[in-house]
Amino acid sequence: MEESIGKLEEQGNNDIAENSIGDNIVNKSDLMTISPLVLAYIGDTVYETYVRGHLIRNFPHKRVNELHKLAITYVKAKAQADIIHVIESDLSEEELRIFKRGRNQKPHTFPKNGSIIDYKHATGFEALVGYLYLAGRQDRLNEIISRGIEIIEATEE
């Protein structure tokens, strides 16, 4: 029994290694057929994880509640819409196509705060982040998110 558990743990560790950021998690042909809302679903998580890491690096001694309030300024739809408006002209054709596919999806929910336009642009931004993550394009993902963080911090000053 212990031998079986050891094999499962070893297999689980291999799965994690294969799916770590920087690896191509989904092959290119499958990636192009994934729903933009699914891309936005994973993109939302990836972007928020980057933001939380950024905040912890810069404010390691803040309380969790304070970190959460700070994170909201980066992840709210208005902030993501502001990011995409600034970087849109720097996107490749492929990236722009992914953004537009996400932006043009009919939303299944509506924002509690903010405009539907910002929400749609934020969905497009998240779809782009999800696409880059699943494609394993770590350098470009880092570049776009780092630039986004700079844009938000510049508008908050």
- The span from the CA of 126 to the CA of 102, in Å, is 8
Give catalytic status of residue 44 as yes or no. Answer: yes
Q: Which of 15, 44, 82, 90 is catalytic?
A: 44
Structure tokens at 66: 């304070």
Q: Where are the domains of the chain?
A: 25-156
pTM of the model: 0.82
Structure confidence by residue, pLDDT tens digits, 50-99: 999 999 999 999 999 999 999 999 999 999 999 999 999 999 999 999 99
Structure confidence by residue, pLDDT tens digits, 102-136: 999 876 676 677 789 999 999 999 999 999 999 99
Q: Considering the domain delimited by 25-156, tell me its CATH architecture.
A: Orthogonal Bundle (1.10)
Residue 36 CB neighbour total at 10 angstroms: 23
